[in-house]
Amino acid sequence: MTGLVSEGALYGYARPNQDARGLHIRQFARAFIFQVEESHVVVVVSDVCMITQALHKEVLERLAMLYGDLYRQDNVMLLPQHTHSSPGGMHTYFMYQAPSQGFINETFMAYTDGIVKAIQRAHDRLQEGEVYVNSGELLDASDNRSPYAYYNNPEEELARYTHNTDKEMTILKIKGSNDDDLGVISFFPVHTTSMKNYNHLVSGDNKGYASQMFERNMTEGMYPINTSFVAAFAQSAEGDATPNTGGSLCNGTNDMCTYNTSTCPEDPNDLKRPNFPAYLARFTVCARVVKVAASGVYDVNMRLTTALPKTNKVKGKTHTITKADVYVAQFVFEHNPSES
């Protein structure tokens, strides 16, 4: 579902001069369909910054043409993993259009086509399976980007938590009827901003990269589009959670950014980078967060496999899963503007 890799702006940092000039890694839409009796729930995790109202509406209209009222607003969940290096132009409200140079139909169509194609492939390949859930702490993959503000909270608020950001990772593990691994959905709160605001390459950033690396690890190195196993690194309450665990440096002075404002006031452009060598910064922190996050998923996944006490088969009615028909699929769709 990769959007325009040139002649458009990247979306997330709201910097109009952050135009797209090439490709780091492709964008993917990973679709999961859960069915219990006649009830369906669709979950799609996409390598985009946001799912806009217009995008959600267009996807639902396409699904209605294909499946009638089977997939609707109340059972289709479209989740962005919040990369700040995906092409913009999918908004229909001016405030959000302005940083990405307006509405860009080529990118909007690529996103819509990719999400719909992912759901179609999942729908066509439903199979019986089971879903398990587990959670655990993942340290060293995130930090608070505004500690000065956080520690100004009331003492009773601070006392409720061990860390200054949410460190809990929750995963859904999906297995087929023959006990083969079909996929995982990981929920962990960290901003998808390892690629900084001076980056000009389209990228799924740390979560997109983690998904690809985890899938390749589970499928002997196969490229994601060819795999039967799907790993979606979804977002949760990322708030002030930054992937810059070593802090941020000011580009202009090489000093750490100020503690009480988290900015570089001496730099008119306020450009910051992770605490790594400049030429390695965006890729090093991306790879580092991926390594920690993927290891965390693997660790929690192993707990599921070995059935520790926190492991639970998902139970319930309607929109939860017991022994359900489950299929997971992923799809990347490269839209050709000449076909529009």
Written as one string, the DSSP assignment of 216-230 is HHHTTT--GGG-S-E
> For residues 248 and 32, what is the distance between their CA atoms, to the nearest angstrom?
36
318: amino acid identity, one letter? T
> For residues 53 and 17, what is the distance between their CA atoms, to the nearest angstrom?
25
> For residues 167 and 147, what is the distance between their CA atoms, to the nearest angstrom?
15
Nearest partner of 192 among 335, 55, 27, 52, judged by Cα: 27
The reported pLDDT for the residue numbered 18 is 92
Look up tokens 């587990």; give the residue.
Answer: 134
Mean pLDDT over each residue of the chain, to the nearest integer: 79
> For residues 174 and 188, what is the distance between their CA atoms, to the nearest angstrom?
18
191 is in an annotated binding site: yes
Asked if residue 138 lies in contact with residue 170, where contact means CB atoms within 8 angstroms, the answer is: no
**Most confidently predicted of 48-57, 208-217, 288-297:** 48-57
> For residues 219 and 227, what is the distance between their CA atoms, to the nearest angstrom?
7
Q: Kindly state the average pLDDT of the residues 186-198.
A: 88
| pLDDT exceeds 70 at position 233 | yes
Split at pLDDT 50, 70, 90, the class of 268 is low
What is the helix (H) or strand (E) element at residue 274, kind and residue range? strand 272-274
163 is in an annotated binding site: no
Neighbouring C-alpha atoms within 13 Å toward the C-beta of 253: 14
Split at pLDDT 50, 70, 90, the class of 314 is low
Digit-coded pLDDT (tens) for 46-105: 999 999 999 999 999 999 999 999 999 999 999 999 999 999 999 999 999 888 889 999
